[in-house]
Structure 1
Amino acid sequence: MSTTYDCTRPDTRAEGLTAATSALRGGRLVVLPTDTVYGLGCDAFDSVGVQSLLRAKNRGRDMPVPVLVGSWQTIHGLAFDVTPQARMLVEAFWPGAVSLVVQQAPSLSWDLGDTRGTVMLRMPLHPVALELLREVGPMAVSSANVSGQPPATTAEQAREQLGASVSVYLDGGPCASAVASTIVDLTGDRPRVLREGAVATTTVAEVLGVPPEDVLRR
């Protein structure tokens, strides 16, 4: 059975966050609002939860699940090395709509899919998401939709697609942006923009102090 909580009201928001925390710690799935689109999430270190997430989305292991974090400092425990470029991008855009692909720390005991030793990290700019992440820790979060269908920009759209596969729906109202995050790959010799989203490639390049063509994917 799924329950939806109106997180635009203080009383039901607190109730919803408590229910979501309990669900995540119990290995169940939660839909949460972010600053881009609604996300479908579980505890990042719960491999069974990640498999449930992939199954709910009808998605294979060849498309590993990104990880959302609730603070800047968390990247130090998840990345093998926090490079100067990573620090610049974190300081400029977190919390916000830039996702960073980094080499994951080899000691991590998680299974996000076929990651080939990398992980995509982001700190979202949304109060409900941040409060939940700070309570439960890193979450494996993908867009709250069935693969091939449009990403959900409301909790109701997510529920229409995912139904009872999700235990708790946190309704934060319509997404303000509804534009996916910009993805920057930091695993190679130089940063590369894999997907331009809410943050322009030119803005990423400006922060890094390089010409825009230097960060374009080739």
Structure 2
Amino acid sequence: MNSSSDLPTSDSPPPQTAAAQQQMPAYSQQITQAAEILRAGGLVAIPTETVYGLGADAENESAVRKIFAAKGRPADHPVIVHLAEAQDMHQWSFDIPKCALRLADCYWPGPLTMILKRSPKALDVVTGGQETVGLRVPNHPVALALLKEFGRGVAAPSANRFGRISPTLATHVRQELGDSVDLILDGGASQVGLESTIVDLTGEQAVLLRPGAISVEQLQAVIGEYLGDPAENQTRASGRLQSHYAPRAQVIVVEPIELRSTIRRCEDAGQRYAVLCDAPIAKAANVHTAHFYKLPADPVVRAQRLYIALRAADDAGYPILIIAHERDPANKDAAIWDRLQKAAAPRD
């Protein structure tokens, strides 16, 4: 089985936030500069443990609108407000349920976004005109240092063109947004690699709106009850559209047993393609001629590497990306499966 030299094949995880923590003295001048840019109404790309965010002063309407312009984001699509500390949620929301406080104690800082009832502080441009606001405290030393230096909430969706693959490296932000960002803080590779879990806590029953590193089981253990049906929830939130997290190429997601026949159909049609899967699946399917990206089998490491793999294959110019993924019977790959389905969904 041959692997392409222009696609990375390492199974090693990206640098952890501890590495960024050790380099924090070198970031101090940039963090001061970034805070000044935010105060002046500019845009800063911020590393978090999930993905890189495109940040603006959440209390500055014109600054937040720059996010929408840079991303090509629909005006009614809400953005998440990032906070320095859990106690700051009381400024941005009211009637906070006790389960939200328990979740904050357990998972903030961390990859969890909570949808709560908005306070007057939350602007319509941030909430998409809804009576709710998404809040989270990120778990990355650079992001936290900036939030503390800035002293206000930062509105920050992912730092990419709307609907495209979220960036997990600073180079991804440069490729996507270029000069539309005033400053890019390079905090290394994102440790989680997928966007935060989003849970809506504004109704009678908590509802998972987007799966992420914090699982349903973890949420339910803290909340103390089963989560509601997301299909019945009308709250607009990041990542809820059918097509999202998509490369330019057509994405085909198949069961491992279908990989060989899918490749054969592409070859019979004379179509160029790349294959993304783990090594045993590729070997079983006898993948020889296609450019091949080895996705790690472990769900945690696969999540860290998924967007890097999608971008690498996409940047190599393949019009078709075939991803062979075997669902985890314990549903530990819920976030990965969600992103794959959205990347493969029909596009407008």
TM over 0.5: yes
Q: Distance in 1 between matches of 2:174 and 2:164?
A: 13
Tell me which residue corresponds to 1:178.
Answer: 193
What is the aligned counterpart of 1:191 among 191, 206, 231? Answer: 206
User: Does the CA-based 8 Å contact 2:32-2:149 persist in structure 1?
Assistant: no
Partner Cα distance (2:160, 2:44) in 1: 12
Corresponding residue to 2:83 among 69, 79, 83:
69
Q: What is the CA–CA distance in structure 1 between the aligned matches of 2:122 and 2:71, rounded to whole Å? A: 24
Which contiguous aligned blocks of 4+ residues in structure 1 show a shift greater than 4 angstroms?
107-110
Q: Deviations over 1:162-203 (max 9, x none)?
A: 111111110011111102111000111111111111111111
| Per-residue CA distance 1:128-170 (angstroms, 9 max, x = gap) | 1011111211000000100121100001101110111111110
Post-superposition Cα deviations, 1:53-77, rounded to whole Å, max 9, x if no partner, equal 0000001111111100000110111
Which residue pairs with 1:27 in the alignment?
Answer: 41
What is the percent sequence identity of the aligned residues? Answer: 37
- Structure 2 residue 73 is matched with structure 1 residue 59: yes
Matched, 1:95 2:109: yes
**How far apart in 2 are the matches of 1:124 and 1:11?**
20
Alignment length (residue pairs): 210
Report the equivalent of 2:230: 217
Distance in 2 separating the partners of 1:107 and 1:167: 25
SS of alignment partner, residue 156 of structure 1: helix
Structure-1 separation of matches of 2:121 and 2:52:
30
Check whether the contact 2:93–2:118 (CA below 8 A) recurs between aligned residues. yes
1:80 to partner: Cα distance? 1.6
Amino acid at match of 1:186: L
| Aligned-residue CA RMSD (Å) | 1.6
Match of 1:146 in 2: 161
Which of 166, 181, 184 is 1:166 aligned to? 181
TM-score with structure 2 setting the length: 0.58
The structural deviation recorded for 1:113 is: 5.0
* Largest Rg, 1 or 2: 2
Q: Which has the higher strand share?
A: 1
Which protein has greater RCO, CA pairs closer than 8 Å, 6+ apart? 1
Secondary structure of residue in 1 paired with 2:55:
strand
Segment of structure 1 superposing worse, 127-136 or 99-108: 99-108
Give the corresponding residue for 2:259: none
Q: Is the CA contact (8 Å cut-off) linking 2:46 and 2:55 kept in structure 1?
A: yes
Cα 1:216/1:205, change in 2 over 3 Å: farther
Separation (CA, whole Å) in 2 of partners of 1:203 and 1:67: 23
C-alpha distance in 2 between matches for 1:21 and 1:201: 35
Cα separation, 2, equivalents of 1:165 and 1:10: 26
Relative to structure 1, the CA distance from residue 206 to residue 131 in structure 2 (aligned partners, 3 Å threshold; closer, same or farther) is same
Instruction: Give the distance between the partners of 1:176 and 1:23, measured in 2 at CA.
Output: 26
Whether the 8 Å contact between 1:64 and 1:114 is mirrored in structure 2 is yes
Q: Structure 1 residues 188, 87: closer, same or farther in 2, change over 3 A?
A: same
CA distance in 2, matches of 1:53, 1:167: 11
Aligned to 1:3: none
